[in-house]
Amino acid sequence: MTLHLEGGLARGTLAIDMDLAVGRETVALVGPNGAGKSTTLKLIAGLLRLDRGSLRCDDDVWDDGAGRFTVSEDRRVAWLPQDPLLFPHLDVLSNVAFGPRSRGASRTDASQLATAMLERLDLGRFAARKPETLSGGEARKVAIARALVTRPRVLLLDEPFAGIDVSAAVDLRKELASCFADFDGPVILVTHAAVDAFMLADRIAVVECGRRVQIGTAEALGAAPATRYVADLVGLNFLRGRVHDGLLTLDDGGTLVVAHPVEGPVTATIHPRAVSLHLSRPDGSPRNVWSTTVTSVEPSPGSARVRVEGPIPLVAEITHAAVRTLSLRPGSAVFVAVKATEITLTPV
Amino acid sequence: MNLPRTALAVAASAAALLFAVPLVGLLAHAPWGEFPALLGDARVRNALALSFAASGAAVGVAIVLGMPLALWLASGRSALRTVVRTIVLLPVVLPPIVAGIALLSAFGRNGLVGAPLEQAFGVTIPFTRVATVVAAAYMGLPFFVLAVESGLRAFDARWLDMARSLGAGPIRRFAYVTLPMIFPSVATGMLLCFMRALGEYCATQLFAGNLEGVTRTLPLACGLAMETDPRLAVALSLLLSGTSVAVLLLLKRRLPGAP
């Protein structure tokens, strides 16, 4: 089962031009706010029409950008927006039974299906409750039950963890992971949190300004990030410039000695662990050494991420012990060293 | 002592009294002892039944015709919608006598629609029970349309997107999502429409006449009683006031400033 989306639409300042093929897998759509992720989900759900291009699910053409358009109610796409949108006038059971009822199931059958689905997700005790009495995490799970009970062909989730507390998010993440594993079709998950994308998705599609700039596994993205956003996402330093004769001249100023036999415009990535910090000028193998100032020190489990300012702003990942030994704090003067062989170049 | 605050209190009290005193006058003149006898009279019971039937039918007309109109008005913005909305809301501000004359010129025996209707089908509207319903609906419908349209405009269309993605077609979306969710607006519209129809006097008299047992509604009976039996008029007025107060109590939670 495969979903193909090519093309897009223009709405005011947002222009979407998407190229996405999702099989029986989970793809995370990540990207900055306003990149068109939610709009892409609405296109697939049939709540918006393509201006041009096509949207197909297997052999069914859902939208050809012209006359052919399958209305949302006939697509069997589960759409889970950020707001769970449980019908406030119906109790939890009736909310979950709404889909089967709409698709022609009798009252008894719909109710049985809904009860079974609530039990499966361990939500049986909420059946008679009104949505307003549920917590954010509970409402989110009920919305998932309501979507899954319709036996959808495609599952779309928009920021499933937004606005719920941390412990509920942990619980929900587990729940979703098992739902995705059981689900026999394309799952598309919109998120801005890298951790969710890495934990839940098989592949990550990065969307910027309405376009899919890169798609691949987390490893593939990390190996050759296409944009600064992707590099930030995977935690890498990302630079652009032009190589001539083993010397990389950066677009934003500064030069670096590089080891790869590449010429012309490139993107360069440096892993934060490959950036070392020193109190005095190191005299050793590193070919790139310069002095600068620390702008921030962010502790993270096992290590700390230290940002340094220009001429080449970078992030260095060092141990907590090193932070203490060097007594680093914002404003500390340091020498930065990067080995030429640690700079990965990708021609563009 | 705070002078502006005192002035405000005096002015506000005067305004409140302006509304309270007539009501007190009505209560003071009420022939409490004779109530059962006065209201038990067959003519009064006829008028009461006629009034409630005509107003109920007007609410029915509002639902059948006003609901689709409100749905269309709320479904977008256009010059045509503005024109139609203005025409529909006209009866709210129109002097009732003008409404009565307008209804006669349209549906009267020599009216624009009335004349061909009579020639072709032998149907006459004016001075029949149907006319009381037409007059009541004409005056009451705008309140229904206004209330329902504002309810629909405040309604978040994302609920419909959700219903759609769950497989609900247009009829199911309206019946099971839109209607229950805007029900407070619909109920308000129905009550306002009913009350405006119940109180209708001038247009009814002009267009439907004042025929005992046929078109003499409660307000018309009340007006007539004022000339023959003022005690009966006061009793009927209290009956109408009681109904109005009951409706206000039903609407109370929907009025601004409610606790």
User: Token digits for A102?
Assistant: 């709409």
pLDDT score of A285: 67
A80 burial type by CB count under 10 A (0-12 exposed, 13-18 middle, 19+ buried): buried
Reduced to 3 states (helix: H, G, I; strand: E, B; else coil), residue B161 is helix
Place of tokens 């749905």: B71
Give the whole-angstrom CA distance, residue A121 versus residue A137. Answer: 13
Closest CA to A151 of A77, A41, A46, A47: A77
Is the confidence at residue B259, as pLDDT, over 60? Answer: no
Rounded mean pLDDT, B86-107: 91
β-sheet with A203-208: strand ranges across: A60-63, A52-57, A3-11, A14-22, A211-216, A203-208, A26-30, A187-191, A154-158, A77-80
Query: Is the Cβ pair A73, B169 closer than 8 Å?
Result: yes
Same domain, A207 and A336: no
Q: Are B116 and B200 in contact, with CB atoms under 8 Å apart?
A: no
Query: Is the Cβ pair B164, A71 closer than 8 Å?
Result: yes
Q: Is A26 an interface residue toward B (CB < 8 Å)?
A: no
Measure CB to CB from residue A73 to each of B168, B176, B180 and give the nearest one: B168
End-to-end Cα spacing for chain B: 29
Same domain, A163 and A271: no
Q: Is A140 an interface residue toward B (CB < 8 Å)?
A: no
| pLDDT tens per residue across span A125-163 | 999 999 999 998 899 999 999 999 999 999 999 998 887
Q: How far is CA B219 from the centre of its chain?
A: 13
pLDDT > 90: percent of chain A: 37
Q: Are A238 and A348 in contact, with CB atoms under 8 Å apart?
A: no
Interior angle at CA B66, CA B65 and CA B67, nearest 5: 95
Q: Is A46 an interface residue toward B (CB < 8 Å)?
A: yes
Name every chain A residue with its beta carbon within 8 A of the beta carbon of B169.
73, 102
Name the minimum distance, in Å, from the CA of A212 to any CA of chain B: 25
Name every chain B residue with its beta carbon within 8 A of the beta carbon of A45.
161, 165
Last residue of a domain, one of A211, A228, A245: A228
Pairing of β A343-347 and β A288-300: unpaired
What is chain A's mean pLDDT, rounded?
87
Residue B259 DSSP one-character state = -
Same domain, A79 and A186: yes
Q: Are A144 and A128 in contact, with CB atoms under 8 Å apart?
A: no
- Which of A43, A47, A80, A96 to mutate to probe the B interface, most B CBs <10 Å? A47
Same domain, A55 and A118: yes
Measure CB to CB from residue A102 to each of B158, B161, B168 and give the nearest one: B168
Same domain, A113 and A15: yes
Give the whole-angstrom CA distance, residue B157 versus residue B173. Answer: 11
Give the whole-angstrom CA distance, residue A118 versus residue A124. Answer: 5
Show which of residues 142-161 on chain B sit within 8 Å of chain A, judged by CB atoms: 158-159, 161
pLDDT score of B1: 60
Q: Phi first, then psi: what are they for B255, rounded to 5°?
A: -90, 150
Confidence bin at A66 (pLDDT 50/70/90): confident
pLDDT score of B257: 52
Q: Which amino acid does the sequence have at A114?
A: A
Q: Regarding predicted confidence, which is higher, A13 or B78?
A: B78
Same domain, A103 and A211: yes
Instruction: Return all residues near B241 (Cβ < 8 A) that are at least 6 apart.
Output: B23, B26
| pLDDT tens per residue across span B63-94 | 999 999 999 999 989 999 999 999 999 999 98
Give the whole-angstrom CA distance, residue B89 versus residue B153. Answer: 17
Q: How far is CA A166 from the centre of its chain?
A: 18
Reduced to 3 states (helix: H, G, I; strand: E, B; else coil), residue A22 is strand
| pLDDT tens per residue across span A166-195 | 778 878 888 888 888 888 899 999 987 777
Q: Which domains does chain B have, with CATH numbers?
A: 43-253 (1.10.3720.10)
Rounded mean pLDDT, A207-226: 83
What is chain B's mean pLDDT, rounded?
89
Last residue of a domain, one of A172, A207, A228: A228
**Structural domain count, chain A:** 2
Name every chain B residue with its beta carbon within 8 A of the beta carbon of A78.
165
Confidence bin at B209 (pLDDT 50/70/90): confident
pLDDT score of B16: 93
Name the minimum distance, in Å, from the CA of B183 to any CA of chain A: 10
- Which of B155, B164, B166 to mutate to probe the A interface, most A CBs <10 Å? B166
Residue A175 lies in domain: 3-228
CATH of the domain at A325: 2.40.50.100
Kind and range of the H or E run holding B28: helix B3-29
Name the minimum distance, in Å, from the CA of A131 to any CA of chain B: 14
Last residue of a domain, one of A228, A258, A283: A228
- Which of B155, B158, B159, B162 to mutate to probe the A interface, most A CBs <10 Å? B162
Rounded mean pLDDT, B23-46: 85
